[in-house]
Amino acid sequence: MDTQIEVTAQDGFGGIDAAEWDALANPEGGVPPDPFTTHRFLRALEISRSTGGRSGWEARPLTAHVDGRLIAAAPLYLKSHSQGEYIFDFNWADAYERAGGQYYPKIQIAVPFTPATGRRFLTLPGFEATGRSALMQGAVALAEQNGLSSVHATFCTEDEAEAGAELGLMARASQQFHWQNRNYADFEAFLADLSSRKRKNIRKEREGAQAFGGTIHALTGPDLKPEHWDAFWRFYQDTGRRKWGSPYLTRAFFDEIHRTMADDILLVMAEREGRWVAGALNFIGRDTLFGRYWGSTEHHPFLHFELCYYQAMDFAIARGIPHVEAGAQGEHKLARGYLPTETHSLHWIADPAFRRAVAQYLEAERAAVDEEIEVLTSYGPFRRDTGEAED
């Protein structure tokens, strides 16, 4: 007898038991693979009204039950725009609407404002294949039933992309810059892997940053205080206005993660003459440190690189964390040891003709991404000759 799976779009995360959700997001317990699909993070977005309301992100988390037991779930949102996603489909929306179609609202399975790879189809152990399939098919069915244009699952894992392709969804390849911790004993051990010129440049940058006239603090857990968030909010607002026009996150979001996620956070802050002048926010996963936001109220040479990249690498080395993801875009990361890495997404388009056009686009785009990764990797800072003389 076939197992009956009931798939439902819920009205937000508030009605979902946190322990049941987290049993899917982090079935192993301990430090989660990434904190972004935990109930506390997604609920913080909701409580703070960073999502919902007029944000264009309407939470409709998808759940799958067997005999009343939650066996799978996905962070699903109805989107009225394409902002805050970082895998861009603006050109798809423009083309479809020029042809007379209505692209929005659409379904987005994602962590809002967070270009970090992780599972998007969360399952209990033993239900990986069935739960994932039920969620993917359920999302498509939801779009069909409501006359929506499309379904998108962004920054999913490679396994999920392959499973989705087998079910008829279109897989898309993109790329980011990630740093790999090769079991380095310290930062100098990392530098020893680089070419002489790149090694000297990074040392010069770190020396220049440290000369800003103050102190750098790496804060996590109980070291985090409300004053740090007051300062970081100023930094975040400045960066948000320059990059997006208006910040995605509300002030209340930072208060909520201070309350519920202090152990998931690394906040690197620069203090000068008794004032906080710059900061970088990171989230701590089991195997990855995720860099998210940066901002400052004063300009100091190389301080951005120090707080966002080198301090993150120092922390990863000290904690034995294998990877650092430094967020979206930025070829300037290449010279600092962050290499191009393929990222994945899944897409379903309702209109058959438009689906064929997008499929052709994705095929050409994948070839371009593969070539770009190969070329950029060849320009990486690492030594080609292991016998190169040391400084």
pLDDT at 140: 98
pLDDT at 240: 66
pLDDT at 245: 65
pLDDT at 238: 81
What values do phi and psi take at 338, rounded to 5? -95, 115
Specify the residue for token string 């300037």.
Answer: 332
- The rounded distance, in Å, linking the Cα atoms of 306 and 338 is 14
330 CB-contact burial (10 Å; exposed 0-12 / middle 13-18 / buried 19+): middle
pLDDT at 100: 97
The amino acid occupying position 41 is: F
Half-sphere exposure (Cβ direction) of 213: Cα atoms closer than 13 Å: 10
- CA angle 349-165-136, nearest 5°? 65
**Parallel, antiparallel, or unpaired for β 323-325 and 170-180?**
antiparallel
Q: Kind and range of the H or E element at 46?
A: helix 39-47
pTM of the model: 0.95
Q: What is the side-by-side strand order in the sheet with 6-9?
A: 6-9, 62-66, 69-74, 122-123
- Residue positions counted in the chain: 391
- Tokens (6 digits) for 329: 């875009």
- The CA dihedral of 177, 182, 186, 188, to the nearest 10 degrees, is -70
Q: pLDDT tens string for the chain (391 positions)?
A: 367 999 999 999 999 999 999 999 999 999 999 999 999 999 999 999 999 999 999 999 999 999 999 999 999 999 999 999 999 999 999 999 999 999 999 999 999 999 999 999 999 999 999 999 999 999 999 999 999 999 999 999 999 999 999 999 999 999 999 999 999 999 999 999 999 999 999 999 999 999 999 999 999 999 999 999 999 999 999 876 666 667 899 999 999 999 999 999 999 999 999 999 999 999 999 999 999 999 999 999 999 999 999 999 999 999 999 999 988 878 899 999 999 999 999 999 999 999 999 999 999 999 999 999 999 999 999 998 644 545 5
pLDDT at 329: 75
